[in-house]
Every structure is written in C-alpha cells, then in structure tokens.
Amino acid sequence: MGHHADIDRQVKTYILIFVTLMALTIVTVAISRLHLPVHLAVAIALIVASVKGGLVASYFMHLISERKLIYWVLGFTVAFFFAVLLLPLWTHFDPILN
Amino acid sequence: MEIPYTVAERPDTGLNNGKIGIWLFLASEVMLFGALFASYLMMRIGAAPGTWPRGDSILNVPLATVNTVILISSSVTMVMAWASLKRNDFSKFRLFQGFTVLAGFGFLGIKYVEYSTKFHHGLLPSTNTFLAIYFTLTGLHGLHVIGGMVVNGYLWGPGSRLWKTDPEHFTNRVENSGLFWHFVDLVWIFLFPVLYLL
Amino acid sequence: MATTEVAPAHHEAAHAHAEHPHLGFWRQYVFSTDHKVIGIQYAVTGLVFLFFGFCLVMLMRWQLAYPGRALPWLGWLLGEARMPGGSMLPEFYNELGAMHGTIMVFLGVVPLAVGGFGNFVLPLQIGAPDMAFPKINMASYWSYFLGGVTMLASFFVPGGAAQSGWTSYAPLSIIAGQGQTMWLFGMIFLITSSLLGSINFIVTTLQLRAAGLTFFRLPFFCWAQLVTSFLLLLAFPPLEAAGIMQLMDRLAGSSFFMPTGLVVSGQQVAYTGGGNPLLWQHLFWFLAHPEVYVLILPAFGIVAEVIANNTRKPLFGYKLMVYALWFLGFMSFIVWAHHMFFTGMGTTMAAFFQTTTMIISIPSVVLLSSLLISLWGGSIRFNTPMLFALAFLPMFGIGGLTGLPLGLSAADIPLHDTYYVIGHFHYVVAPGTIFALFAGIYYWFPKATGRKMSERLGRLHFWPSLVFINGIFMPMFIVGMAGVSRRLYDGGASYDFAKDVLHWNVFMSFSAWGLAIAQIPFIINFFRSIKHGEKVGDNPWDATTLEWAAPSPPPHGNFAITPEAHRGPYEYSVPGHPSDFTPQFVSAQQGS
C-alpha cells in the first residue's frame, strides 16, 4: 500500500505542516503578550489552536483521507463534546432567580 | 484461531480492527478531556470577579512554549517513524521512534521542573481553583504522555521483533500508536493557550 | 466478498482443532481469552453481586419495616460500629443504600447484561470465532473484578463504605470517610473495564460479521449491544474526569466541588472554596442518564430474541426498532439535567431538558409497542424464557409511564427525591431488565452448557417472583405521592404526614423477603441443570440466528465451518415452507 512516490509526497507535507505549526506557536505566544481584551484574546487563541489542531488531525493523523465510519464516530463525539461543554454553562447562566 | 481483519482491511468498512479500535479509544479520550475543559470553564466563570489569575502571571510561559515545540516535533518524528516503515527503512524507523520517546522524556523533565517550582513556592492544587484545574489537566495529560512513551518504547524495543515476521502488522501498530501520540499533542495544543496564555 | 472470507476461515477452522494447544487450568478457565469463558465469568460474577446487592437491601428493608428494632444475631455479625445492640445506625443504613445502588448498577446488572450476555452471545450471533481483541477482553473482565474487590473491601475500612448515595453528590462526598475514596478508585477500575469492553464490542460487530450478514440481517440483540457500547464509550469518560476531580478534592484539598464558605457541624471546612457542587452533578448525570439506557437496551435485545423465537413470527417493525435504538442512543446524551430540576435551574433550561426528555420517550414507546405488536397472531410457546420476556413488557411499561411526570419539570416538584422515583426506576430495572436477564439465562443456558434448565423449577421461580416484585415496588408510588422522601433511614416514621402510609413499609419488606425465597428454585435449577438438565443439540429452541449453528456448548473457535447468513434473522413461519422456521445459516437450496 502506498507507492514510494506517495509516501515521499506525504513526507513533504509533514515537513510543511511542522513549519506551519512552529510559526503558529510563535504567533499565539506573541499575541498573548499584547494583553488583548479577554473575549478577543480567547477567540484568537482558540482559533489558532483549532487551526493547529486541525492540521495535526488532518495530516499527521491522516484524517483528511480517512473512511466514512471514522468520520461518523468523530462527528457524534464532537457533538457530545459540545453538549458537555455548553449545557452546564448555559444552565449556570439561567438561574431560577434573575 | 485467527481473528479476521487484524491486518487486512475489511472490504466494506475499508479498515482493519486496530485502526477502528484506536479511533474509538481516542473518541472516549475527547470526552474525557472535554469534561475537564468544561470544568475549567465552570471554575473560571464561577470565580469571584477579578480573582481568576492570568495564566502567565503564575505559570512559566517560556518553559511551556519549549514543551509545545518539543511535543509538536515529536509528533513529526512519530509520523516520520511510520513513514519510514512504509518505505521499508527499519533503521530510520528506529531513529525517528527513538527521538519520539526521548522527546517525551524532555517534555516530562520540563513538567517536573514546573511542578516542583510550584510546590516549592507553596502553589498547590488546594491553593485556588485555577491551580486545581491546572494541575489536574496537565497531570492527566502527563499521565497520557507516559502511557504513550511506554507503548512507543515497547514498539522501539522488544515489540519491533514483529517487523521481521509480519511487517504490515507492525507498521499498523506503529501507526495506531502514532495516532494516540498525535492526540496527546493535540490536547496540549489546546491546553497550552487555555491555561498559560489566557 | 463471500469467497475470500469463508475460504481462509475454513482453512483456519480446520487448523484450529489440530493446533489448539492444551492450556493449563489457569489459562483455560481463569485467565482465558475465549469470549465464552469470559462471558460466563462476567455472568457468574454479576449474579453474585446481584445477590449481594439484594442482601444489602433486604437488611435495609428490616430497618424500614421496623425502624430501630434490634436484630441481635445480625448485630453480633456486623459489629457495634454498624449495628450496636443489633439496632441499625443511620450511617450504616446510608452505607447500605449507597452500596446497594452502586453494586446493582455497576457490579451486577451491566456486567451481566453487557459483559455476560454480550460477550457470550455476540460473536456467536455474528458467526465470528471470538471477539476482535481477545486479550483486551480478558483485561476488561479482570479490571471489573478488581473494581468489585475494591468496592467490597471498602466495607471494612474505618468509617465503612461509601455512604453518600450511589450519586456521590458533593460536598457531602468530599468530606465523607475513607470508604468514599475506595468507591472512587473502584469506579476507575470499572470505567476502565467498560471502556475496553465497549471498544471490543463495536469493532467486533463492525468487522467480524460472517459472510452475508449485512447490517439489516443482524439480530436485534446485536444492534442493542452495539448502541449500548457507544453509550458506554462516550458517556463514561466525563464521570471518570469527575471522579479524578473528586479524588483531587478529597486527597489534594482542591475545591472543584467545594463552595466558598462551607460550614460543617459549626466549623468552616479547610478548603479555599470557589468550587461548584453542581459541576459534579452535571458530570455525574452526563454518564448516569445514558447509563440507564445501558441498563435497558440489552434487555430489549434479549426480549426481542426470545419473543421472535417463541411467537414463531418475525419481529414487528424490526427496521423501525433499529432506527429507534439509534435515535434513543443519541437523545440520551442531552436529557441528563432532568435529574437536576431542583438545582435552581431557570425556566429556559428546564424547558430544554423537559423537551428532550419528552422526545426520548418516543423511541422507547416505539420499541415497547413493536415488541407488543410482535405477539399479535403468533403461535406463542409459554416456556420459561418467554414468561419472563412477556412479563417484561407490562413491567417496563409501568416503569416507563411513571417516568413521564418525573420528566416534566412542574410535575417533578412533588415527586422529586420521593419513593415515587424509587418505584419508577426499580420497575424498569428490576421487573424490567432483571426479568429480561432471567429470560436470557433460561434461553441461552442450553447453548452454553448443552443442557436445558428445568421448566417446572422455572415456573416456580417466575410466578412468585412476579407477584413479590410488584409487591415491593407498586406501593412505592403510593408512599412517594404521600410525600415520603428517599434515603430516610426510618422510612418516614418521624414525619406526621407519612403516618397513614407507613404500614406499606412492612408490606414491601415482606415482599422483598418473599422475592428472595422465590430465587431459591432458580439457584437450584441453575446448578442442578449443569450436570442433570435435559441434554440438547445445537438448536433446542428451533431458532433462526447464527449462534444455533454452533454446537452446544461451542468449542474454542465456535464453528467447525464458519457459517454464512443467507437471509434475515427472523424467518419464522414463512408461507409455503415445510417447517415453521428457516435458520439464517442454511443455504438457499437447503432452506427453500
């Protein structure tokens, strides 16, 4: 499985992703020194982290060329991840006495 | 008795057993760390206004940045280890896999320095909820680093014997172990800014 | 696909007999990787824990029937720390309550329903030689065993076992004694076991189905186990995270769940505070709600198999039932805070959780109705498994219906934390799931042992059990609606408003002790039939699914020749066919 040419192309991609990840790491640390207002800082930090994470997942973990079954499993997982993240939060912000 | 599709891919799913197994495991890990991130949020919004410290006021950002670089690098060497096996280059595999394990030691070493400095200054999980979630999140992550190192070390060492008898099976094992290791890196990619930079 | 899969299996099966090494006693019966041995280990251990958990509650029922009255011989047995002079301490009552719940749910029902039945039946029903990961299977059993040992050992530490309810709410659980720490470690072992098992089940079902066994030819039992495994996989980790945080609070002094300024017995607790007790509740119920579907889905699976087989008809609405399973599984992740209506939740979020809860009752009703309608026009055989499966239907119906007012936030107000709730959930699990599990035991016992259990003893087990179990749980609705709270160690005796319903406590306790006696025929039957039951062949029930193609009991590797599925799972009473069943595994020529 996978010609030598295939793997060579993949290896080139890995190096490129590595450089990108390093750059984004520097970016995220640099931006944090600006002490932006909280909401903006959080948004930017999470966006950068998501891009980095997305690259790791898509290329190092080969998700970009994975099977449908794996996508389905991860899809539901992400949905439930947001459920456990957001529902307690929303409940906290909806107390019975306002 | 042989279990079908341990190495070969089943035609209709297009996958072998181990690949599905590791992704299912990673799905459960997403939920595990997800719950801890949810707890981070609940602790932070529940803190009295102005009492939640900025990460960089208590934590060591330079050290953690080095750790981030170490972990991302080890992710690259991990996937290169697998790619080397696909290219039939066992000695390159050894090199890259070995570096991956060493990077793990480096990561843990820095973590040790971080933790011991905190304890030395009386900064403990009991001190405040920020430190509680910091120690719990990074501690659990650290345990996962150790776990990954154990498996990667096994595959570098005694486990590598399988390369001689069933190279495809061995390559798949390295790939699956790599998936776990990349996940550990992925968690840190989120942990680092959330805890240290915000 | 057919030829490439079957051919190697033929080859391997032929080899299996030849090269199967003789394993010593320990590798064959104790540290086995064979799914059938592991399944039996899970089942037997689960049954032992069910019995133990039942004993705990029988003791509680003495206290509830006769609050404060001494049982001298028990006092001598259990010691002054628990029952001074034979009279139960409230703390000990709380231990019994917390551990009864924990043991029944996590050490009894799920290990039997999923670990026992799932492990034994699933590979056989899909025509596989074993699970996808046999060694991980073994690890999952021993992790469960270690968790069980930890839980049992917790009774013997100073302060006794966990006593903060099976729900371990903070802050009580944080300041509780050592037993609570052991509970947490026990849960970590159990969650690990569950994780390993669920991965195994999912991969096995996806990958090891025999040739011709497409997804919609799978027996409903397999679908039920598959959805259950997904629930376990994704719902348990947040509880594991919460358990770790509770351990941090208890052992490292953190304040994840400790609010600021907490005062206990007039003293400020030594915690910096800033934590949120509700966070524990959210993470606990995030697991515990899907957990109740883990408790019921395997039962639905078993009942479906037994009903199809004993009505000699296909299941009604099989495809719809499968879709209902998945919809139920998905919804189960977003209903959990209906357990938390009283935590100060506003109307928006209460409405959200109420709505999702009402929606989730739909697939439940679809499943129950389909099973009920499956009976219509059937040639019903009233053997023991079928009696239990039939009883399951109205019992689960009562349990499900009584859940509806609990899911409506307004109606929940007078019912929350009363005996009504205890009645509701026991109806679904006890005459619900446990009856289904009995059905499964009587049904698959011949496959596992090569012998049938006695029908006479089976009836002697069934009828008194049905009567007594209703005697325990039906009055709980009355007592609950009268306002008696849960977890009162005197059963409501100190409350004036409860005085007219207190007599029910005695009735319920005698029913519980009667139920215990009703299990004696089962225990005798179970052990006696292993050696002296009526011998049977491969397919004593004239069933259609693949497990009945294997010998009874199946050898290591299960099938001499890997079966192939040629048709759906419930081809009973096919018009024009000479016999009233056509097994999946007979070929078209033979089967037409």
Angle at C217 between CA C211 and CA C221, to 5 degrees: 110
Distance in angstroms between the alpha carbons of the first and the last residue of chain B: 54
Q: How far apart are CA C116 and CA C96, in angstroms?
A: 26
- Tell me the nearest-neighbour CA distance from A44 into chain B, angstroms: 10
- Tell me the nearest-neighbour CA distance from A52 into chain C, angstroms: 25
Contact A45 B186 (CB under 8 A): no
Place of tokens 């009864």: C100
Q: Does residue C466 carry a pLDDT above 80?
A: yes
**C453 touches C442 (CB < 8 A):** yes
Cβ contacts of C370 within 8 Å, gap of 6 or more: C315, C316, C317, C318, C320, C321, C324
Helix (H/G/I), strand (E/B), else coil: C538: coil
- H/E stretch holding C224: helix C220-247
Assess whether A6 and A44 both reside in one domain.
yes
**A41 touches A69 (CB < 8 A):** no
C214-219 long-range contacts, CB within 8 A, separation 24+ = C214/C565, C216/C318, C216/C319, C216/C322, C216/C568, C217/C565, C217/C567, C217/C568, C217/C569, C217/C584, C218/C125, C218/C126, C218/C569, C219/C125, C219/C301, C219/C304, C219/C305, C219/C545, C219/C546, C219/C569
C22 pLDDT band (50/70/90 cuts)?
confident
- H/E stretch holding C534: strand C534-535
What is the model's pLDDT at position C21?
65
Backbone angles phi, psi at B155, to 5 degrees: -70, -30
Assess whether A83 and A54 both reside in one domain.
no
Q: What token pair was written down for C452?
A: 């049938």
Mean pLDDT is lowest, of B64-78, C71-85, C258-272, for: C71-85
What is the model's pLDDT at position C225?
98
A83 pLDDT band (50/70/90 cuts)?
very high
Assess whether A59 and A74 both reside in one domain.
no
CB crowding B8-20: b at 16 or more within 10 Å, else e = ebbeebebbbbbb
Q: How far apart are CA C390 and CA C435, in angstroms?
A: 9
Q: Tell me what the mean pLDDT of segment A37-50 comes to.
A: 95
- In the stretch 124-143 of chain C, residues with CB closer than 8 A to chain B read 128-134
Selecting from C200, C238, C274 the residue whose C-beta is nearest the C-beta of B35 gives C238
Contacts of C241 in chain B (CB under 8 A): 32-33, 35-36, 39
**C298 touches C344 (CB < 8 A):** no
CATH code of C38-256, in short, is 1.20.210.10
CB atoms within 10 A of CB C90: 12
Contact A69 B15 (CB under 8 A): yes
Interface test with B, best of A29, A65, A66, A90 (most B CBs within 10 A): A29
Assess whether A42 and A81 both reside in one domain.
no
Contact C349 A90 (CB under 8 A): yes
B80-138, pLDDT tens digit by residue?
Answer: 999 999 999 999 999 999 999 999 999 999 999 999 999 999 999 999 999 999 999 99
Q: How far apart are CA C189 and CA C147, in angstroms?
A: 5
Question: Please, is C48 exposed, middle or buried when counting C-beta atoms within 10 Å of its C-beta (0-12, 13-18, 19+)?
Answer: middle
Assess whether A73 and A57 both reside in one domain.
no
Return the C-alpha torsion angle C513, C515, C520, C525, nearest 10.
-170
Domain boundaries, chain C: 38-256, 561-592
**C447 touches C550 (CB < 8 A):** yes
Contact C255 B132 (CB under 8 A): yes
Q: How far apart are CA C13 and CA C557, in angstroms?
A: 7
Q: Does residue C19 carry a pLDDT above 50?
A: no
What is the model's pLDDT at position C414?
97
Chains near C (3 or more Cβ pairs under 8 Å):
A, B
Q: Does residue C220 carry a pLDDT above 60?
A: yes
Single-letter amino acid, residue C299: A
C529 pLDDT band (50/70/90 cuts)?
very high
Return the C-alpha torsion angle C103, C108, C114, C119, nearest 10.
120
Contacts of C134 in chain B (CB under 8 A): 3
pTM to 2 decimal places: 0.95
Contacts of C130 in chain B (CB under 8 A): 1, 3
- Quick one: how many helices (H) and strands (E) in chain B? 7, 0
Task: Give me the percent of chain C exceeding a pLDDT of 70.
Answer: 96
Backbone angles phi, psi at C303, to 5 degrees: -60, -40
What is the model's pLDDT at position C360?
98
- Tell me the nearest-neighbour CA distance from C243 into chain B, angstroms: 11
Q: What is the DSSP string of A2-19?
A: --HHHHHHHHHHHHHHHH
What is the model's pLDDT at position A1?
46
What is the average pLDDT value for chain A, to the nearest integer?
93
- Top pLDDT among C370 and C78 is at C370
Single-letter amino acid, residue C415: L
Q: Which residues pair with C451 in a beta bridge?
A: C535
Q: Which residues pair with C161 in a beta bridge?
A: C179
A80 touches chain C (CB under 8 A): yes
**C281 touches C173 (CB < 8 A):** no
* Residue of chain A minimizing CA distance to B39: A85
Q: What is the DSSP string of B91-140?
A: HHHHHHHHHHHHHHHHHHHHHHHHHHHHHHTT--TTT-HHHHHHHHHHHH
ipTM of the complex: 0.97
Assess whether A51 and A97 both reside in one domain.
no
Q: Tell me what the mean pLDDT of segment C124-149 comes to.
A: 98
Cα distances from C182 to residues C93, C108, C143, in angstroms, run 18, 18, 15
Beta strands C263-264 and C267-268, pairing class? antiparallel
**A11 touches A60 (CB < 8 A):** no
| Total domains present in chain A | 2
Q: What token pair was written down for B50?
A: 């102005």
Domain that holds residue A39: 1-63
Assess whether A59 and A97 both reside in one domain.
no
Angle formed by the axes of helices A4-33 and B61-86, nearest 10° = 170
Cα distances from C473 to residues C430, C477, C507, C523, in angstroms, run 9, 8, 10, 23
Assess whether A58 and A84 both reside in one domain.
no
C364-397, pLDDT tens digit by residue?
Answer: 999 999 999 999 999 999 999 999 999 999 999 9
Single-letter amino acid, residue C171: P
**C64 touches C509 (CB < 8 A):** yes
CB atoms within 10 A of CB C296: 24
Residues of A contacting chain B (CB within 8 angstroms):
1-2, 4, 7, 10-11, 14-15, 17-18, 21-22, 25, 28-29, 32, 38, 41-42, 45-46, 48-49, 52-53, 56-57, 60-61, 67, 69-70, 73-74, 77-78, 80-81, 84-85, 88-89, 92
Q: How far apart are CA C444 and CA C121, in angstroms?
A: 8
Q: Among residues B100, A54, B108, B17, which one has the least CA distance to residue C199?
A: B17
Assess whether A74 and A93 both reside in one domain.
yes
Q: How far apart are CA A66 and CA B25, in angstroms?
A: 16
C233 touches chain B (CB under 8 A): yes
Helix (H/G/I), strand (E/B), else coil: C267: strand
Q: How far apart are CA C355 and CA B37, in angstroms?
A: 27
- Tell me the nearest-neighbour CA distance from A96 into chain B, angstroms: 17
What is the average pLDDT value for chain C, to the nearest integer?
94
Assess whether A10 and A46 both reside in one domain.
yes
C589 pLDDT band (50/70/90 cuts)?
low
What is the model's pLDDT at position C80?
87
Q: How far apart are CA C207 and CA C129, in angstroms?
A: 12
Q: Please report the domains of chain B, with CATH numbers, ordered by start residue.
A: 17-197 (1.20.120.80)
Single-letter amino acid, residue C369: S
Q: How far apart are CA C37 and CA C556, in angstroms?
A: 10
Chains near A (3 or more Cβ pairs under 8 Å):
B, C
- Tell me the nearest-neighbour CA distance from B178 into chain A, angstroms: 8
Q: Among residues A60, A68, A46, A56, which one has the least CA distance to residue A21?
A: A56
B36 touches chain A (CB under 8 A): no
Selecting from B12, B33, B128 the residue whose C-beta is nearest the C-beta of C272 gives B128
Assess whether A43 and A72 both reside in one domain.
no
Q: What token pair was written down for C146?
A: 């270690």
Q: Which residues pair with C434 in a beta bridge?
A: none
Assess whether A27 and A52 both reside in one domain.
yes
Q: Tell me what the mean pLDDT of segment B6-34 comes to.
A: 97
Selecting from A80, A87, A97 the residue whose C-beta is nearest the C-beta of C234 gives A80
Q: Does residue C75 carry a pLDDT above 90?
A: no
* Residue of chain C minimizing CA distance to A89: C279
Backbone angles phi, psi at B87, to 5 degrees: -90, 5
Q: Which residues pair with C581 in a beta bridge?
A: C572
- H/E stretch holding C331: helix C318-331
Contacts of C16 in chain B (CB under 8 A): 1
What is the model's pLDDT at position C590?
59
**C352 touches C331 (CB < 8 A):** no
What is the model's pLDDT at position C4?
38
Selecting from B30, B193, B194 the residue whose C-beta is nearest the C-beta of A77 gives B30
Contacts of C348 in chain A (CB under 8 A): 94
Contact C333 A83 (CB under 8 A): yes
C236-291, pLDDT tens digit by residue?
Answer: 999 999 999 999 999 999 999 999 999 999 999 999 999 999 999 999 999 999 99
C159 touches chain B (CB under 8 A): no
Contact A98 C346 (CB under 8 A): yes
Would residue C492 be called left, alpha or beta, if left means φ above 0 and alpha means ψ between -120 and 50 degrees? left
Contacts of B25 in chain C (CB under 8 A): 195, 199
Question: Please, is C486 exposed, middle or buried when counting C-beta atoms within 10 Å of its C-beta (0-12, 13-18, 19+)?
Answer: middle
